[in-house]
Copies of this chain bind each other. A is one copy, B any other.
Amino acid sequence: MAIVVHKYGGTSVGSPEKIRNVAQRIKKVVAAGNQVVVIVSAMGHTTDELIDLMNQITDSPDPREYDMLVSTGEQVSASLLAMALQAMDCPAVSLTGGQAGVVTEDIYKKARIKHVHLERMQKELKEGKVVVVTGFQGIDSKGDIITIGRGGSDTSAVAIAAALKASVCDIYTDVDGVYTTDPRIVSEARKLKSVSYEEMLELASLGAQVLHPRSIECASLYDIVIHLRSSKNETIGTYIKSAQAIDKEAKKMEQKDTVRGIALDENIAKIGILKIPDKPGIAAKIFGALAAESVNVDMIVQSMHSDKSLADMAFTVERPDLKKAVKVTEMMGKELKAENVIADPDVCKVSLVGIGMVSQPGTASKMFAALSKNNINIQMISTSEIKVSCIIKKEQGKRAVQILHKAFGLEKVS
């Protein structure tokens, strides 16, 4: 008897009717002779509503109490799904993260899962029940409720799949797979049959919000295949697995896709600190101060001025951190006697991702040429073995994605 692990996101369990649909789907999988464990997120906007209530109480919630509060959302959807299954004569039981044996670090709000104790889940499975587990949470050594960061239900699902030695973790969401780029931007965007962990990680980190990056790391670590698919239909979605496994399947093909996907991140802002009297350690000072304020810095460009004694520095931060980052940077600017600090919220990051790029050195220059031919000015560039990212004007972001999607022929089935 195979163990099947499903995870359903907030929109998939957003109403009693949708919960019944999910139950119907699970019942079929049970009828086909499988043991099923289901991980659920909170219904629809429940978490946001709870946070809204919280914001009416306090500006600086205690992380422990935050976890106590928001973990209730998943408890509601898990119990409702168990009831919906029972109403269809499909035995089921809901378990909180703690009851399911999910033990985390003692860090509120963003703990990592340390271990999954299987006793309770195995007992319930043996009794023929579908086990519905609250995603996004576990307990720490004190027995306190701990959440593992927003979007963490994906990670819960993969960790539980790994502990149960399931070979696949089906993650159901409101999109039906991973596309070469956002289909709302490029109508010819093509669904990928499979994508490697590394590529998916880059795509997820670069703005494709279909999967939580930590869940991909976890899947990669335990070699769990993630099947990302839609809860609205039975269509096969996208398999996220190791590059080796993908290579093996594709061994007959001469040439692999160089570029697999294009991501657009509009949630960033750029800060420039200009004409800093150059001396060793200025970068360390600036980024040390930002790190001390928990500002996550992404791309960094340092350039020499025509006057060799002066340096310019530019970097990007996440948009919500801009105000805080500017404040810190202005302080450091004064200390370092820089001429001035400029903040530019009107930028975006467009990125090409593909494992094949490492062996195709022409990819980056082809990208730059396509953009410049269309009068899109590149402000900053960053490259890694499997991606090239450019910072451009925000208003040009969607057009850039369309141009690149065409330039790299991503609409064609490989």
Contact = CB atoms under 8 A, between A and B. Distances in A.
Contacts of A144: 99
Contact of A75 (B53, B54, B62, B68): B68
A84 B20 CA distance: 37
A87 B145 CA distance: 21
B84 A57 contact: yes
A98 B84 CA distance: 26
Contact of A69 (B16, B54, B69, B75): B75
B72 A75 contact: yes
A126 to B, nearest CB: 15
Contact of A84 (B58, B87, B145): B58
A79 interface: yes
Contacts of A58: 83-84, 86-87
A93 interface: yes
A57 B99 contact: no
A64 B80 contact: no
B93 A57 contact: no
A78 interface: yes
Contacts of A86: 58, 61-62, 65
Nearest to A143: B99
Interface size range of chain A in the complex: 35 or more
A69 B43 CA distance: 13
A19 interface: yes
A50 B79 CA distance: 11
Given A50-B76, A69-B79, A79-B68, A57 B94 contact: no
A357 interface: no
A56 interface: yes
Nearest to A145: B96
Contacts of A130: none
A403 to B, nearest CB: 47
Contacts of A404: none
A87 B57 contact: yes
26 contacts: A20-B57, A50-B76, A53-B76, A54-B80, A54-B83, A58-B83, A58-B84, A58-B86, A58-B87, A59-B87, A60-B87, A61-B86, A62-B82, A64-B93, A65-B80, A65-B82, A65-B94, A68-B78, A68-B94, A69-B75, A69-B76, A71-B75, A72-B75, A72-B76, A98-B143, A99-B144
Interface of A: 16-17, 19-20, 50, 53-54, 56-62, 64-66, 68-69, 71-72, 75-76, 78-80, 82-84, 86-87, 93-94, 96, 98-99, 143-145
What 8 pairs between A and B have smallest CB-CB spacing? A16-B56, A72-B72, A68-B79, A69-B79, A58-B87, A65-B79, A58-B83, A65-B82
